[in-house]
Amino acid sequence: MDGPALSAYRNPLAAPADLDGWTAEGPAGVRHTDGGTVLSSTADEAALTAAGRGDHAHFTYWCPEVFGPDLAVEWDFKPLAGEGLAMLFFAAAGTGGRDLFDPSLAPRTGYYPQYHSGDVAALHVSYLRRKWPAERRFRTCNLRKSPGFHLVAQGADPLPGPEDAEGHYRVRVVKRGADVSFAIDGLTLFTFHDDEPLGAGRIGFRQMSPLVAHYRNLEVTELP
């Protein structure tokens, strides 16, 4: 894989310059307020749905850095409006030991099957899952492993919707060796032991439209 691993990465996500080098795949709208970044879809989802292309209204936004295999990722998150879904990709790389942006990989446009059943190897945790009625009825956080769309861990989702959110929630993902954990505001929601752990890779935020959400104070620490 190309690129050096970093010992630490801190980004307030507060201004356009903080996102220099970030890569958007799909219709990502970005603005800055309240010391952070607001992400939303720029797609006209009604028109896309009418054309049978609603799943193309979503996007992934990649941090430019490559991190080692053992790391902790933390950020502040607040839902602002809309139902949808938020997700973090981590340990993301191309299959066969390739970098995530190797030109030999298939193009990606934010369409989810390109990430879970294509030539991307990654773990991805979804939270604030409110897109579909079944997700709103029984709220969980899910961890999947790609390629293959494998659901490997699941836990309860404590986050409120935008109408009840008060302030930001601190989200934390830890991957150390074969073990992964996920927590919000210090409450561990699930753990996972991976018999075939992934190595170094990238992180990226993903959102499903029509969610509008605020992110700030991203911190990635490589673990000894």
Percent with pLDDT over 90 in the chain:
86
- DSSP 3-state of 33: strand
Band of pLDDT at residue 47, cut at 50, 70 and 90: low
Q: Is the pLDDT of residue 3 over 60?
A: no
Band of pLDDT at residue 169, cut at 50, 70 and 90: very high
List pLDDT tens digits, range 13-44: 999 999 999 999 999 999 999 999 999 999 98
Instruction: Give the DSSP per-residue string, 78-118.
Output: EEEESS-EEEEEEEEEEGGG--TT-TTSPP--S-THHHHSS
What is the token pair recorded at 78?
A: 């607040």
Which residues are bridge partners to 33 per DSSP? 36
Domains in the chain: ranges and CATH: 8-101+114-222 (2.60.120.200)
List pLDDT tens digits, range 106-140: 999 999 999 999 999 999 999 999 888 888 899 99
Q: Give the containing element (helix H, strand E) for 126.
A: strand 120-127
Band of pLDDT at residue 49, cut at 50, 70 and 90: confident
List pLDDT tens digits, range 183-195: 999 999 999 999 9
Band of pLDDT at residue 54, cut at 50, 70 and 90: confident
**What is the structure's pLDDT at 81?**
95
Those residues with Cβ within 8 angstroms of residue 52's Cβ, 6 or more apart along the chain or in another chain: none
Q: Is the pLDDT of residue 151 over 80?
A: yes
Band of pLDDT at residue 6, cut at 50, 70 and 90: low
Closest by Cα among 203, 218, 7, 40 to 122: 203
Over the chain, what is the mean pLDDT?
Answer: 94
